Copies of this chain bind each other. A is one copy, B any other.
Amino acid sequence: MKSIFKSNTKNEKNLGFGKFASEGNRMRLINRDGSFNVERKGLNFLSSLSIYHFLLDMSWTKFFSFAALGYIFMNIFFASIYVLLGNNAILGHGSLNFWEQFSDAFFFSVQTSSTIGFGHLTPGNFLSDLVVSVESFVGILGVAIITGLLFARFSKPNAKIIFSENAIIAPYKEGKAFMFRIVNARKNQLFELDGEVNLILQKTINGKTERTFHKLDLEISHLTFFPLSWTIVHPIDSNSPLDDFSETDFINSDPEFYIFLKGVDDTFNQYVYTRSSYKMSEIVYGAKFESIIDMHKTGEKMSVDISKINSFEKITFP
């Protein structure tokens, strides 16, 4: 058997993890969802706080809750000012106790910031007129900000590629191959897909553990269209750093596969990028994917059953 580990210094450094990753530790570098497993500290809070990215990346539920909370607090803030300006600040209902006064001020503020202005409550003196002027401006800016954010969230191009839960080591031609499967979870169509798979292996020599990086050859690395599913295949042949690996070799070398996909989104005509990773615990040694395409359908359309994306049958290598 030839040397199991073929270090490729160039690829390793180009991946961007540098010396850290090549040190002997078994930390995951890229999470399943494609984010980096990195903690960043020492950055001034304000300069790292990219509110915009924060508001763009949160879930829709959180986003609307944030917006609602902001609306409530803004109205409480202005209501407090109207209350502080005294009983004559708002003309309309004869307010009796503090809570009635405050709730009137709050509803007056709502009618002002949202620009409804029914007019049964009106500003009563110069100062409250002034506050109304400020609040109307804040209201306009607020609507502008919400609108801008909503659209930015809408127009953020994002692919939703579903990866098979497991990658498998499957029979392939006369040998074996590393395979996983992806499918497009969105109605929009993707094309000009490019895939790249990188591998990190652990290697222990004289008690010292090192990591080696490898860019893997793929059977196919580019698709013009992506209408169905794509089984991405790295043939384990003599050019592969995994050549002649037994199941034990796999487990000992703790392989991590990093996947990097890009393609053009039909709706926005823009490139979208997706990353993911497989660690050994997510890889099945000895398996075959079951087809997710209905071959015997007699209808007019090709048919793909996305729920079967992870269906495989276990097999034993001879």
Binding site for B on A (CB under 8 A): 13-21, 23, 27-30, 35-43, 47-48, 50, 52-54, 56-57, 64, 67-68, 71, 75, 91, 103, 106-107, 110-112, 114-123, 126, 129, 132-133, 136-137, 139-152, 154-158, 160, 185-189, 191, 193, 196, 198, 219-220, 222-231, 260, 264, 266-273, 291-293, 295, 299-308
- Docked CA distance A19–B118 (Å): 66
Q: Across the interface, do A145 and B150 meet the contact criterion of CB distance under 8 Å? A: yes
* Closest Cβ–Cβ distance, residue A29 to chain B (whole Å): 7
Question: Given the known A-B contacts A37-B300, A147-B144, are A272 and B273 also in contact in the complex, defined by CB atoms under 8 Å?
Answer: no
- A185 close to B129 (CB less than 8 A): no
Q: Which residues of B contact A150 (CB under 8 A)?
A: 141, 144-145, 147-148
Within 8 Å by CB of A48, from B75, B126, B152, B187, lies B187
Q: Is the CB of B268 within 8 A of A42?
A: no
Q: Smallest CB-CB separation from A188: which chain B residue?
A: B53
Q: Which of B114, B225, B267, B301 contacts A115 (CB 8 A)?
A: B114
- Out of B17, B111, B140, B306, name the residue touching A225 (CB < 8 Å): B17
Q: A307 with B149: in contact, given A14-B224, A123-B107, A187-B54 (CB under 8 Å)?
A: no
Q: Chain B residue with minimal CB distance to A153?
A: B148
Which residues of chain B are within 8 angstroms of A154 by Cβ–Cβ distance? Answer: 52, 148-149, 152
With contact pairs A23-B295, A267-B156 given, residues A140 and B146 touching in the complex (Cβ less than 8 Å): yes
Besides A14-B222, A114-B136, 16 new A-B residue pairs in contact (Cβ under 8 A), listed by A number: A38-B302, A39-B302, A39-B303, A42-B307, A48-B306, A53-B187, A71-B140, A103-B129, A110-B132, A115-B115, A116-B132, A140-B142, A144-B147, A148-B154, A155-B155, A191-B260
The listed residue (B27, B114, B220) touching A140 by CB distance below 8 A is B114
- Assuming the A-B contacts A16-B224, A17-B225, A120-B119, are A304 and B133 also in contact, with contact meaning beta carbons closer than 8 angstroms in the complex? no
Q: Given that A129-B103, A264-B273 are contacting pairs, would A16 and B226 also be in contact in the complex, using a CB cutoff of 8 Å?
A: yes
Q: Which of the residues B28, B48, B56 comes within 8 Å of A185, measured between beta carbons? A: B48
Chain B CB count within 10 A is highest, among A229, A271, A273, for A273
Known A-B contacts A155-B152, A189-B35, A224-B14; A141 and B133 likewise in contact (beta carbons under 8 Å): no
Please tell me if the beta carbons of B306 and A27 are within 8 angstroms of each other in the complex: no
Q: Is the CB of A50 within 8 A of B140?
A: no
Judge whether B189 and A36 touch: CB under 8 Å.
Answer: yes
Contact B144 A132 (CB under 8 A): no
Partner pick for A186 among B53, B111, B129, CB 8 A cutoff: B53
Residues of B within 8 A of A106 (CB): 133
List, in ascending order, chain B residues with CB within 8 A of A14's CB: 220, 222-224
